[in-house]
Amino acid sequence: MATRLPKALLTTLALLLLFATTATRPTVHAHTGLSTPCGRYQSAAGCPPPPPGQAIDYDINSPIGSNLKINQTLCKSSIPYPFESRTVYKAGDTIQTAYSLGSTHGGGHCQWALSYDGEKTWVVIQTEIRTCLQTTPDMQGSYRIPVKLPADAPSGNVTFMWLWINAIGDRELYSNCADIRIEGRNGGSVQGVAPLIANYGPSNPHFPEFPTAEFPDGHELFATRQQVTIMVKGSEGGAVDPSQSGVALSPKAANQPNSA
């Protein structure tokens, strides 16, 4: 008959495991970043060169902030790729997202979101709680996670964002954005929730480490995300306009993280 270990002992063992992991952490942090679709200014093979005046982001895997401070904006870089450099997907497609090999910090929480208005308004299209990036990397050293685009997504130039709250290590928030084009219906709406922004400065929620199921992981906060509806204007003739993909409307508070 199996012996059930006391909860206190399990907690102690988890803390010892956490200590061993963090004690051997290299001083040069090898984190994880979005490589497919190409994160903005990504150096990976097959990714387009940065827009004029911008440089390759060789630190694309680094966090954008921690529970103590904000280092960068949600997309890290605010200048998008031009129309002709964007990867094209059809509404309803499943994107086989890939993440470069690095430290996955015990997994954690991931969210994927879309913006049609230049990163002012976001709507989450997929969430993975606790188990994100806990899979085994493939032969190319990448982690792959399928993310399905809404079947009724309107056509337009879209920013595709990945957010990650790591389970183990410094309390950080990771984010990369990819500039894509969606071919779907001519105008319409996308409904969902606003992203949960955490470990991003002292004014946003703080998630402590959660190395095992014995530790609280803050999953209940995901149920408090505000509902969002993005309305996208159709274009005359149904074609995608390279300069204007639509206007997104949503309660501002639902998408703007605290900046202090």
Task: Choose the weakest-confidence range: 130-144, 187-201, 223-237.
Answer: 130-144
C-alpha separations of 9 from 23, 59, 211 in Å:
21, 39, 15
Task: Specify if 24 maps to a domain.
Answer: no
CATH code (residue 78): 2.70.50.70
Pick 102 or 204 by higher pLDDT: 204
Residue 187 is predicted with a pLDDT of 96
Residue 140 is predicted with a pLDDT of 61
Instruction: Count how many domains the chain has.
Output: 1
Task: Specify if 69 maps to a domain.
Answer: yes
Task: Specify if 11 maps to a domain.
Answer: no
Task: Specify if 193 maps to a domain.
Answer: yes
Contact criterion met (CB below 8 Å) for 17 and 215: no
Residues 178-212 pLDDT 10s: 999 999 999 999 999 999 999 999 999 999 898 88
67 φ, ψ (degrees, to nearest 5): -65, -15
Q: How many CA atoms lie within 13 A of 219 on its CB side?
A: 14
Pick 140 or 145 by higher pLDDT: 145
Give the strand pairing for 94-99 and 143-148.
Answer: antiparallel
Tell me the two tokens of residue 156. 């337009």
Distance CA 227, CA 208 (A): 26
Residue 3 is predicted with a pLDDT of 53
55 φ, ψ (degrees, to nearest 5): -125, 155
Percent of the chain at pLDDT > 70 equals 73
pTM (2 d.p.): 0.80
Average pLDDT, the chain: 82
2: pLDDT strictly greater than 80: no
Residue 44 is predicted with a pLDDT of 86
153: pLDDT strictly greater than 50: yes
Query: Residue 49 belongs to what domain range?
Result: 29-254
Q: Which of 71, 59, 40, 34 is nearest to 170 (CA)?
A: 71
Task: Specify if 40 maps to a domain.
Answer: yes
Task: Specify if 13 maps to a domain.
Answer: no
Task: Specify if 14 maps to a domain.
Answer: no
Residue 4 is predicted with a pLDDT of 57
Task: Specify if 134 maps to a domain.
Answer: yes
